[in-house]
Structures are given as structure tokens and as C-alpha cells.
A and B are shown apart, each in its own frame.
Chain A
């Protein structure tokens, strides 16, 4: 057993060391002043047309307090705004306090922090925009590709995102969001909806990320998320080594995670194709588990001074935050997996191998339950219900992680409640 284990580790290490780079041909011109001036003086309801070419910027391109502006290039990889070696600002494009802004048909590359950040904006559309980091794909890359946060009416469609050391396509603390028909690959987190409400994620292809699609609720933020629908996506081969920096919350995601629902209420996961993940297809977990995982070893008492439990902060004191997922429906998805053994580079994989043998679960629940999980009459509290109704036979596990896997169960029929 142990020998197999070592053999596998060696194999995985070798396998994950391949050269991973993105080196498009670039021929930079300097149009910084001209484009920057356009951004500053743009009148409301105007269109900023960007010509074809590769343009290098030394500082962030900032737009603040504008209404009804379209920023339009000549197409992905035709109009390239590059922030390679930028000297000031932690974003490429930064849009704040605006209404109805559209970015379309261009590429944004190599920002030192986030490629495109949008904040406090009502109406932001990204259409046919690519964001990327060139060179090796590693933790030196910036954090977020698309990064709308505290926004309303967000539409991201026909876009591409690659290389982000946090999330390629992220939306946070926002409401009324549509993320559709995008291609998201080679990021740590592919698509991430965090603390957002009324979000639809459909028609996207996510592959070669560490985790494909994440629906997260994290404590200590301005708002909490619910009503999220993840449907009709192609989520496959998200087995990339996690290259987030330690301390980042996505740094805890095990490679080989298809879809993760964390501590969020009212999430539907349906009609997706979920294929070839080496840890788990769909997982539904609580923030309690995240915080325990961050602690590394669940057996050991964390040392409050060493800072090892960085993730959890004091989430239990946040009265508005519920660390447990609930009202989750998972149905009509199509699962396939060519991997036989779970990935042993993560605690999850080892656990699965140990508990389930050579099986990778299509769906896993951490099984950590709140005190009021059961009502007085013995029924499951509807706010914490998880309903699973797949047409095909699936491999399933409810870990009961809070009780050292005592009541670990592979019987999915208990969750057939839709």
C-alpha cells in the first residue's frame, strides 16, 4: 500500500513538471498617452474605439464615474492592451463608480495584479474580451482575470481567461450576474462566484484549472450570496496543480475539483457535463471544512500565534454568515471519468482512496452539519437540504467529516428529495 502511494506521488510529480507557458507573439507600440486621454475625457454615452495593435502601458488605465461608455477594440488578440512591467497601479484596467460600461473585442494582458477590476458599477458588460498572463503559468501571475466586485447587472459573455493565480473569471459581492459562453482555462479557480446573488453561470467551458467552477460564500464581506444557477457548462480536466500563493483562499482547492459549492444557499447545479477530474466532480462543503483544511492537520490544536488558521478568521462571530450550504439541488448532470485513482497530492484524494478505495466520487458532501440540521420532528431543516437527483448511477460520498468520518455513507438515495 505504502509503496503504491510513493510510486503515485513520484508519477504525479513528474507528470506535473511539464513546461507550461503562454508566449504569444507581441509587437508593442506606445499609445499610452492617446488611450489614457480618451479614458479621462470620455463624455458620457461615447464609444472609445481602439485600433488594431499591441499597446504597452506603464500605469493602470482607470475610468471613474462615467455613464454609458463602450470601449471597443478590433477583436481578441488583435487589440492587445499589455501591462507588462507596469510601474504603477495594481490593475490593468480599473473601472469604478460607473454605470453601463461595455468592454468588447480586445485582449488585456500581464497586469501586475488583476487584469480588469470593476467596482461599485451598475451595468458592466464584457463581451469577447480575453484576459491572460504571458510567460510561465505560475504564482508569479496576477490574481484575477475578470474581477467585478460590488457591482450590479454584470454580463460576461464570449470571453476567455487564462493564467490567473487566483480566479480567471470572478464575480464578488455583486447581484444580477450572467456568466455565459466563456472559455476559462489554466487558472487556479476557473469561474468563481463569491458572495453574489442571482447569478447564472451557463454555457461555459472550464478546463485545465485547479478547480472548474466555484460558488463560494466567505465571511466578513459586505454581502452574502444566494440564488445561483450553474447549468449547461462543460467542466472537464480541471487537474492543474494549485499555483495560488499560500494565504489565498483558493490555495486550499485540491487539484481535480470540478464544481465546488461552499457555504452558499440556494444553488442549482444541473445539465452540466462534468468529466475527468482526479479528486471530485461536484463537492458541497461548509466553511467549517475550509477552515479545518487550512489548519492542515485537523487533529492538532491550531496555534493562534502561528497564524496557520488564517482562513477562518473569526467567522463564527459574524452573525450574518452561515458557514453551511443549503437548498442545494444537483440534477441531470452527466458524469464521466477516465481517472481510476484519486489524486493523492491532496488530503481529499488520500482520504477518498483510504475510505472508498480506487473510486473518485462524482459528488461528495463534507457532511458537516449545523446544530439545527434536524428539526424537532426529525426532518432535515429545509434551509440545509441538499437534493441530488442524477439520471445515471454515480459514485457518491457523504463524508461526515465532523465526526471523523464515522457515519461516512455512499448511499445517495437518502438525498433524493427534489
Chain B
């Protein structure tokens, strides 16, 4: 059955290649046709549908029992991909609240992140294309990353360890047509960002990221409270004790300072922290850093090489154009760009936020409120 499905997919793809659409596709992209044989190397299931995370039509992403949707206040930028996130909880084992880190999820938990592009960012009814579903599975031996690539028909997603490059095109918020070669990471690339003190860890679902409302069964509820009320989270403190990130792009949710720091925390902090893969840089871009120098203020790079762009400091208060941080956010050259992985485009709005933030920083008083 699967083979027939795969055959159809291949045929459909070959056919599609002969149409005019091909001209609109970015070059140098790979096929998204599912392979005929899925080799799993004993790491995960061959097809996403086999997990039973979703009910009904898979592409509708309707969560099954024990699967809870969540959103982050300030998410990582991934080439403008939209994301639908879920947590699968094992029976009878709640997560434990953590004030600073990712919630302490029990073994058996699976974090499910679906990457998709609405065809028209301004109009949900125009449909969407799901490209990839990433799982982080909490096994006895630790968290394991798995990646599933969606077929053209959007009926299922197959396991792939080496990643892929998928051409994608959409109508952006401003009505412009945008396109890119979306990159599905290979399993080793996952580790490049998710490692903390040599251990693979989730990044997103911290208390401060989850502390926001979400729609659950026609009712808007705070996500942390929803989890606690459903026996999925223990140790939740009083509301006033819970930290919260602002929404990076919503000025009503926090000051410019707070929004910039939240943006840097999720986009840079996973590597740039004292236990992360970029610790050699001495730069700590997490919300917890209070030393302006370690946050990059007038800090020279350690081994940036040409990526420094002839600039001498990570952040020069008041001078975005003299700040290496902005220079690297504003590049798509693999040697220069930051983050190193997970994007092929410049996040224009993110760059604008950080530019504005650096602009108004006062060079004589570089105090950051954590």
C-alpha cells in the first residue's frame, strides 16, 4: 500500500516537474517525493501517522488524547515558516514546573513541531503546505530528535535522517511573493542547537515562553494553567510568581528592551549561553545575563574571523551598523550568518527590532533589566 502511495507521489512529482510551475521553483532544491523504502535505523517509526498523535485527516493536525497544543510568546525564526506545536504526554506522568529552564517533562513525552507555510499569509482559507514535523522524544537515555518530511499529497510524513531541501513559495504579509529553499535539518544538525552541557535538550517550552493564553476547546486559557488543571503539570506557582516573555513583535506586551532580549534569548540563547555550543565566544544572549559585557556590549569577538565584517564589537550601544550582532543577523552568507542553522532568509522584522533596540541604547549607561 505504502509502495503504491510512494509510486504515486513520485509520478505526481515527475509530472509536476514538466509543468510551468517548475520555472517558479527556486533552483538546486531536492525532490520531496517519499522514498520507496524508509530506513529507520531503529530510531523511530517510518511514518508520522503511525504514532497516532493526530485524529482524522493528518494534515488537519487535530490532537488526539494526551496531545496538547501550545504556543510560544516569542518563537525562533525559521524562514517565516509557521509552526504548530504539540506535547504528547505519557499516561499519568505530569511535567514538573521549572522557573528558568524548559519544563521537566517525564520520560515518554514527545514534543511535536509542525512546520508549514500558509499559501497566503493574509488568508488562512487559501490553504497551507506542511513541510516537516520534528519530534523530540524523551527516551530513557535522553531526548532524541527525529524528523519527518511531508509528502506532496499532505497525507503523511516519512522518517528521514539526512534532511532535505524543499522549495517553497508563499504570499507574504505584505502581499509580495516570497520563496526559498526550506531546509529540513539532518539529525546531527539538530544537536548543533539543542545541546546544553553535552546533553540534548528541548529549547522552547519554558515557563516564560508558555505563560500566555491559547484557545482550548473554544475557551481562551493560560497554557500553564490549562496543563496544571488537566493534571499535566505539577508545582505551578501563583500567577505572580511566573515569569513571562513578551511577544517580540507586539509593543503592548513589553518594552523594547524586554522584547529585544526575548528575541535574542530564543534566537541566539540556545547556543550563546555558558553551557551551550557557542560558549567559546564568551557571549551570553539569554534573558538571565545581567553583565552588559557578556551580553556583547563593547565586547570584541573571540574567533569570528571574517564574520566580524571588519567590525570590532558585538554590540556598540547607539550604533547598530557598528555591531557585529546585527551584521550577522543581517546576512545569509553561511560563514557570517547567525543563527548558523535554520534559516536561509534574513528575518527583516527581527533585524529591525534589534536595530531599533541598539539604536536607543545609551552608550554611557548599559544596564539591562533581566
CB nearest neighbor in B for A34: B162
Shortest B164–chain A CB gap in Å is: 10
Pick out which of these stretches binds chain A: B8-16, B52-60, B83-91, B188-196.
B188-196
* Among candidates A89, A147, A220, residue contacting B302 with C-beta atoms closer than 8 Å: A220
Chief secondary structure at chain A's binding surface: loop
Which of B161, B187, B341, B363 makes the CB contact (< 8 A) with A88?
B341
Cα separation A140 to B181 with both chains bound (whole Å): 25
> Which stretch (B250-258, B276-284, B350-358) binds chain A?
B276-284
Known A-B contacts A221-B302, A246-B312; the reply to A113 vs B335 at CB < 8 A is yes
Known: A40-B186, A90-B334. A173 touches B280 (CB 8 A): yes
Mark each residue of chain A from 102 to 123: 1 if its CB lies under 8 Å from any CB of chain B, else 0.
Answer: 0000000000111000011000
What does the 1/0 interface line of A240-267 toward B look like (CB < 8 Å)?
0000111110000000000000000000
Interface flags, A218-246, vs B, CB<8A=1, else 0: 10111000000000000000000000111
CA distance A372 to B340 in the complex (A): 45
Q: Is A308 an interface residue (CB 8 A)?
A: yes
Minimum CB–CB distance for B333 against chain A, Å: 7
* Beta-carbon contact of B183 and A64 below 8 Å: no
In the assembly, what is the distance between CA of A60 and CA of B306, in Å?
A: 18
Q: Could you tell me if A221 and B280 are in contact, using CB atoms closer than 8 angstroms?
A: yes
Partner of A245 from B188, B195, B308, B318 at Cβ < 8 Å: B308
Tell whether, in the assembled complex, residue A144 and residue B305 are in contact, meaning their CB atoms are under 8 Å apart. yes
Which residues of chain B come closer than 8 Å to A60, judged between CB atoms?
189
Do B312 and A307 touch (CB < 8 A)? yes
Interface residues of B in 167-215 (CB under 8 A from A): 181, 183, 186-189, 191-192, 195, 198, 200
Contacts of A220 in B (CB 8 A): 282, 299, 302
Q: Can you list, as one digit per residue, whether each of B129-165 has a CB less than 8 Å from chain A (1) or not (0)? A: 0000000000000000000000000000000011101
A65 cross-chain contacts in B, Cβ below 8 A: 191, 198, 200
A246 to B313 CA separation, bound complex (whole angstroms) = 11
Looking at A41, A88, A218, the one whose CB has the most chain B CB atoms below 10 A away is A88
Closest CB of chain A to B40's CB: distance in Å? 10
Whether A142 and B335, one on each chain, are in contact in the complex, defined by CB atoms closer than 8 angstroms, is yes
Answer whether residue A313 sits at the interface, using C-beta atoms and an 8 A cutoff: yes
B267-311 interface (Cβ within 8 A of A): 277, 279-280, 282, 293, 298-311
How near does chain A come to B290, taking the closest CB pair, in angstroms? 15
For the complex, what is the distance from the CA of A307 to the CA of B316, rounded to whole Å?
A: 8
Q: Roughly how many angstroms separate A220 CA and B281 CA in the complex, as a whole number?
A: 9
Contact of B340 among A89, A97, A150, A173 (CB under 8 A): A89
Contact A119 B334 (CB under 8 A): no
CB contacts under 8 Å to B, within A326-352, are none
Please indicate the chain B residues that have their CB under 8 angstroms from the CB of A311 in the complex: 300
B51 at the interface (CB under 8 A from A): no
Chain A residues with Cβ below 8 Å from B189 are 59-60, 62, 88-89
Within 8 A of B (CB), among A42-69: 58-60, 62-65
Are the CB atoms of B188 and A39 closer together than 8 Å? yes
Out of B302, B306, B309, which one reaches A140, CB within 8 Å?
B306
Cβ-based interface call for B322 (8 A): yes
Cα(A33)–Cα(B30), bound, Å: 12
Nearest chain-B residue to A143 (Cβ)?
B305
B305 touches A87 (CB 8 A): no
Chain B, 309-352, CB within 8 A of any chain A CB? 309-313, 316, 318-319, 322, 324, 333-335, 340-341, 344
Check A89 against B300 for contact (C-beta < 8 Å). no
Please give, as numbers and ranges, the residues of chain A lying within 8 Å of B312 by CB-CB distance: 246-247, 307-308, 310
Q: Is there an interface contact between A62 and B191, defined as CB atoms closer than 8 Å?
A: yes
Which B98-114 residues have a C-beta within 8 angstroms of A?
none
Which partner residue on chain B sits nearest A219 by CB separation? B282
A60, A140, A144, A304 interface centre (most CB from chain B within 10 Å) = A60
**Contact, CB under 8 Å: A307 / B162:** no
- The CA-CA distance from A37 to B340 in the complex, in Å, is 21
A143 to chain B, nearest CB (A): 3
Residue of B189, B324, B334 ringed by the most chain A CB atoms within 10 A: B334
Task: Tell me if A292 counts as interface (CB < 8 A to partner B).
Answer: no
Verify if A283 is at the interface (C-beta below 8 Å from B): no
Q: Is A305 an interface residue (CB 8 A)?
A: yes
| Interface membership of A172, Cβ < 8 A | yes
B183 touches A113 (CB 8 A): no
Taking the complex as formed, is A181 at the interface, i.e. its CB lies under 8 A from any CB of chain B? no
Chain A hits for B186, CB < 8 A: 36, 40, 59, 62
Given contacts A40-B161, A87-B344, contact A307 B280 (CB under 8 A): no
Tell me if A300 counts as interface (CB < 8 A to partner B): no
Q: Does the CB pair A307–B313 fall under 8 Å?
A: yes
Bound Cα distance from A131 to B300, whole angstroms: 27
Partner of A86, one of B309, B324, B334: B334
CA distance A89 to B313 in the complex (A): 23
In whole angstroms, how far apart are the Cα atoms of A65 and B201 in the complex?
Answer: 14
Q: Is the CB of A245 within 8 A of B300?
A: no
- Going nearest first, the 6 A-B pairs with the smallest beta carbon separation are A143-B305, A310-B312, A62-B188, A112-B335, A247-B308, A64-B191
5 additional contacts (CB under 8 A) given A113-B307, A220-B282:
A88-B340, A89-B334, A96-B191, A97-B195, A150-B280
Can you identify 26 A-B contacts, CB atoms within 8 angstroms?
Answer: A36-B186, A40-B161, A41-B41, A59-B186, A64-B195, A87-B181, A88-B340, A88-B341, A89-B340, A112-B334, A112-B335, A142-B306, A147-B303, A173-B280, A220-B282, A221-B282, A246-B312, A247-B300, A247-B312, A248-B304, A305-B316, A305-B318, A305-B363, A307-B312, A307-B322, A312-B300
Residues of B within 8 A of A (CB): 41, 161-163, 165, 181, 183, 186-189, 191-192, 195, 198, 200, 277, 279-280, 282, 293, 298-313, 316, 318-319, 322, 324, 333-335, 340-341, 344, 363
